[in-house]
Amino acid sequence: MDFHSPRTWADALALKAEHPEAVPIAGGTDVMVELNFNRHRPPALIDISAVPELAQWDRADGHLRVGAGVSYTRLVRELGPRLPGLAMAARTVGSPQIRNRGTVGGNLGSASPAGDAHPPLLAGRASVELASVRGTRLVPVEEFFTGPKRSVLAADELISAFVVRPAPGPEQFCKVGTRNAMVIAVASFAISLDPEHGRVGTGIGSAAPTPRRAAGAEELLEAELSAAGMWERPRPLPDGLLHRFAELVTSAASPIDDVRGSAAYRRHALAIMARRALSWAWADLMRNGNAPCN
């Protein structure tokens, strides 16, 4: 097996173009499990963990551009207040050991329907930046996943970053599993509220072949809240609205029975998480007015 250790982004892209079959390794928290159990012996590894460009984040035209190699630990520490939903999700990933190594780039690269970064990225309408020697393209997260563990990432491409607006308002993330730590989600849900523009973002995890939005639920909430003038003057949400929102979130999912949970349980859990996440986010909004947090 070949082991490539590029020290610059240009070298990493050149190596991936030259060896499209080589597997990139960042934090290794997915790749090494495969290797240790002999599930997969790639012909080559490209270690991108020492490429400085991937470990950086910065701000540009009102957006954050976060390098694919920023670890969950750093995300929580350095970007927590700007990306509260993603930071909440990052806090639930594995253990301190896993969060020190694991990256959002690796989460996207694995493209598991249960990846915890995905629902908040969907809710925040983030884009994934993909790069190759051919050039760079920006793909909305919603279009990134094509199936379980499959994405639009081409063989010669690497994920360079994700691009997202700092949270325009309250965000929440909920996840159910068998215990509080070290758990792959049985189902998860993220919400992001944008009071200034009257927009709602959602993301569902572990309850469909890919992470996905609940577009119907977003539209319902946007329509009802603006009709009632509730964005300008937040009042407690009517129970009926919470209920219909949860129903539309559940109907956007298409869960299956597997070792971690049944489809029926996932639907049930999703409805409860959708209700809770929305109530908590709305309570934040009522407390803080509609001041954007950044």
Ligand X SMILES: Cc1cc2nc3c(=O)[nH]c(=O)nc-3n(C[C@H](O)[C@H](O)[C@H](O)COP(=O)(O)OP(=O)(O)OC[C@H]3O[C@@H](n4cnc5c(N)ncnc54)[C@H](O)[C@@H]3O)c2cc1C
Positions in the binding site for other proteins (CB under 8 A): 1-3, 5, 25, 27-29, 31-33, 35-37, 41, 45, 47, 49-50, 94-98, 100-101, 180-182
In the list 107, 172, 202, 250, the residue contacting ligand X (rule: CB under 6 A) is 107
Q: Which of 24, 85, 124, 168 binds ligand X (CB under 6 A)?
A: 24
48 binds ligand X (CB under 6 A): yes
What is the smallest separation between the CB atom of 35 and other proteins, expressed in angstroms? Answer: 5
Please, which residues have CB within 8 angstroms of residue 97's CB and are 6 or more apart in sequence?
none
Residue that the structure tokens 């563990």 belong to:
149
Choose the binding region for ligand X from 24-32, 206-214, 238-246, 250-258 (rule: CB under 6 A): 24-32
Nearer to ligand X, 15 or 220 (CB): 15
**Are the CB atoms for 26 and 104 separated by under 8 Å?**
no
Residue 24 contacts which entry, ligand X, other proteins, none (Cβ below 5-8 A, type-dependent): ligand X
Judged by beta carbon, residue 90 or residue 249, the one nearer other proteins is 90
Burial 71-98 (b: 16+ CB within 10 A, else e): bbbbbbeebeebbbbbbbbbebbbeeeb
| Contact pattern from residue 127 through residue 166 relative to ligand X, giving x for each residue in contact according to CB under 6 A and a dash for the rest | -------------------------------xx-------
93 φ, ψ (degrees, to nearest 5): -75, 125
Site for ligand X in 159-218 (CB under 6 A): 159, 182-184
Q: In what order do the strands lie in the sheet with 199-205?
A: 171-176, 187-194, 199-205
Asked if 187 and 273 count as a contact pair (C-beta separation under 8 A), the reply is: yes
Rounded-to-integer distance, Cα 4 and Cα 197, Å: 46
Q: Which amino acid is at 237?
A: L
Give ∠ CA 113-99-95 in degrees, rounded to 5: 90
What angle (nearest 5°) sits at the alpha carbon of residue 122, between those of residues 105 and 92?
Answer: 60
Cβ of residue 121: shortest distance to other proteins, in angstroms? 23
93 touches, from other proteins, ligand X, none (C-beta below 5 to 8 Å by class) = ligand X
Residue 181 interacting entry, from other proteins, ligand X, none, C-beta within 5 to 8 Å by type? other proteins
Rounded CA separation 63/162 (Å)? 10
- The continuous run of DSSP H or E covering 104 comes out as helix 104-110
Q: Of 93-101, 221-229, 238-246, 269-277, which segment contacts ligand X by CB under 6 A?
A: 93-101
Specify whether the CB–CB gap between 89 and 156 falls below 8 A.
no
User: In the complex with other proteins, which residue's Cβ is closer, 82 or 101?
Assistant: 101
Q: What is the DSSP letter of 71?
A: B
For the bound state, the minimum distance from the C-beta of residue 213 to other proteins, rounded and expressed in Å, comes to: 30
* Shortest Cβ 25–ligand X spacing (Å): 5
**Selected range binding ligand X among 28-36, 166-174, 222-230, 275-283, rule: CB under 6 A:** 28-36
Task: Specify the DSSP class assigned to residue 16.
Answer: H
Footprint on this chain of ligand X (rule: CB under 6 A): 23-31, 33, 48, 68, 92-94, 98, 101-103, 105-107, 109-110, 115-116, 158-159, 182-184
